[in-house]
Amino acid sequence: MAALAAGPDNTWTLLAPLPETPDAPVFALAVSPSDNQLLLAGTQTGTIYRSRDGGKSWAPVRRDPGQAVLSIAFSPAKPGLVLAGTRGAGVLRSSDSGQTWAVQPGLERSVGRAFGFAKSFTAVGTEQGVLTVKDPGPAISAALPSVSVTALAISAVNDPSKLLAGGDATRGSEPLPLYNSLDGGQTWNPVTGVATSSNIVSALAAYGGALPPKADTRPVLLGTNSGLYSSADSGGTWQQLTGGGALPATDFNQVAFTAAHADHYYVGSDGGASDQGGLWSTTDNGQHFYPLHPPVATVSALAVSADEQPTLYIATFRPADHAVMLFGFHDTGGPVQPPQQPIPTVPPAAAPAHSGQAHTSTWLAAFVSGPEAPYLALGVAAVAVILLAGVAYFRRGRRRRL
């Protein structure tokens, strides 16, 4: 695999901006497991962009206006297979590494938020639980319908596979919406042993590399709204990795193992609306974490290449002016260097003192131009009719009194 297209090792590189100008975070970002220069990014406006040169240029490959792209994932075992989850356009499937897309049969109405690839099926996390699709074919079974699933991990790929699913909302009474299945998604049980101060599962990842002979458990990472946890036994028991000072006790929305080393992984945070976001690395299974100091601390998406010395791609979001920026970083273990090119600064008009007004106008513009516009117009018209009727009634009553 080639190294990062631009920039020296261990140095953050500002990638080309997307052809549009998003004003909301990019949550969908993925890199091909066989080509570290092949990237896919999805936006809140419903567009999927593709890059063949490590983010030096982007081209749109799918547009569903107004249908936000929430997730993108390459299959680690089936070359060229990619899935993308949208809000309103269903789950999309590509068999040619993201060049062309079609709706996955049976998932036309599903909001795909997370994906997991087992040997004989694909798991899809949705707002109505976990759907499993037998490959090939549209046959679907559902589980955990009361949980809005945000994260999935396959902790045993071969049948009977083991799965973990976590959510950010539930109609149940469990302290944390986190479940495991030991039989390929047929039955599910609540997971215990995670601090109850967390009530949202933000991210899950299982190590996908080779295991020792006869080993049947994989390390798993769990990001929640209040901290980070790890498990050495596929989610049976958990260890908290935050609280000792190396990592902030914040929302960890990005977790990713390297392809070849279970003790080397990355964790990221958008800060949970605070200034504690960032990106960290460990090479000793979480005993020590090293800050990677991304140029913008609010990390909304992370993709890690399958190289021995991986290339990281991140999407960031600057709340002060809603600027979305993408960066690359070839991690060879050396001291972290800032970008050699200047990073766009916050325009004076978008400084924090005026950010409320800017946010309101941006929100209104997006709302008026979005798919809700017809209903907004009907609502405005209905309110106008009621007001006119009230005025007429008042005038008629006033004339009678006169």
Does this model's pTM top 0.75?
A: yes
> What local confidence, expressed as pLDDT, does residue 6 receive?
52
> What local confidence, expressed as pLDDT, does residue 246 receive?
82
Q: What is the pLDDT of residues 181-238, one digit of tens each?
A: 999 999 999 998 887 678 899 999 999 887 776 666 789 999 999 899 999 988 889 9
What residue numbers bound the domain in which 335 lies?
13-349
- pLDDT > 60? residue 253: yes
Range of lowest pLDDT (113-127, 240-254, 275-289): 240-254
Q: Where are the beta strands (DSSP E) in 75-199?
A: 82-86, 91-94, 102-103, 114-117, 121-126, 129-134, 140-143, 147-156, 162-170, 178-181, 189-190
Residues 259 and 310 sit within 8 Å (Cβ to Cβ): yes
Confidence class for position 363, pLDDT limits 50, 70, 90 = very low
Q: Which strands form 35-42's sheet, in the order they lie side by side?
A: 28-32, 35-42, 47-51, 59-63
> What local confidence, expressed as pLDDT, does residue 214 receive?
64
- pLDDT > 50? residue 172: yes
Domains: count for the chain: 1
Q: Who wins on pLDDT, 328 or 172?
A: 328
Q: What is the pLDDT of residues 105-162, one digit of tens each?
A: 989 999 999 999 998 899 999 999 999 988 767 668 889 999 999 999 999 888 889 9
> What local confidence, expressed as pLDDT, does residue 189 receive?
94
**Residue 386 forms part of a structural domain:** no
- pLDDT > 70? residue 377: no
The angle formed by the CA atoms of residues 194, 226 and 125, to the nearest 5 degrees, is 70
- pLDDT > 70? residue 402: no
**Residue 402 forms part of a structural domain:** no
Chain mean pLDDT for the chain: 85
**Residue 114 forms part of a structural domain:** yes
- pLDDT > 60? residue 378: no
> 194, 63, 204, 64: which is closest to 123 by C-alpha?
204
Cα–Cα distance, 90 to 302 (Å, whole number): 23
| Beta-ladder partners of 129 | 126
Q: Which strands form 129-134's sheet, in the order they lie side by side?
A: 114-117, 121-126, 129-134, 140-143
> What local confidence, expressed as pLDDT, does residue 174 receive?
85
**Residue 365 forms part of a structural domain:** no
Q: What is the DSSP string of 28-46?
A: EEEEETTEEEEEEEE-TTS
> What local confidence, expressed as pLDDT, does residue 364 receive?
39
Confidence class for position 243, pLDDT limits 50, 70, 90 = confident
> What local confidence, expressed as pLDDT, does residue 139 receive?
64
Q: What is the pLDDT of residues 380-397, one digit of tens each?
A: 445 444 443 443 433 333
Provide the token pair at 119: 């040997």
Provide the token pair at 158: 């071969």
Produce one character per residue of 160-173: b if its CB has 16 or more CB atoms within 10 Å, e if not: ebbbbbbbbebeee
> What local confidence, expressed as pLDDT, does residue 341 receive?
87
**Residue 370 forms part of a structural domain:** no
Q: Who wins on pLDDT, 343 or 353?
A: 343
**Residue 24 forms part of a structural domain:** yes
CATH of residue 142:
2.130.10.10
> What local confidence, expressed as pLDDT, does residue 70 receive?
97
Give Cβ neighbours of residue 84 (< 8 Å, ≥ 6 apart).
28, 40, 42, 48, 62, 69, 71, 72, 73, 91, 92, 93, 94, 101, 112
**Residue 8 forms part of a structural domain:** no
> What local confidence, expressed as pLDDT, does residue 397 receive?
38
**Residue 241 forms part of a structural domain:** yes
Give the largest Cα separation in the chain, rounded: 97
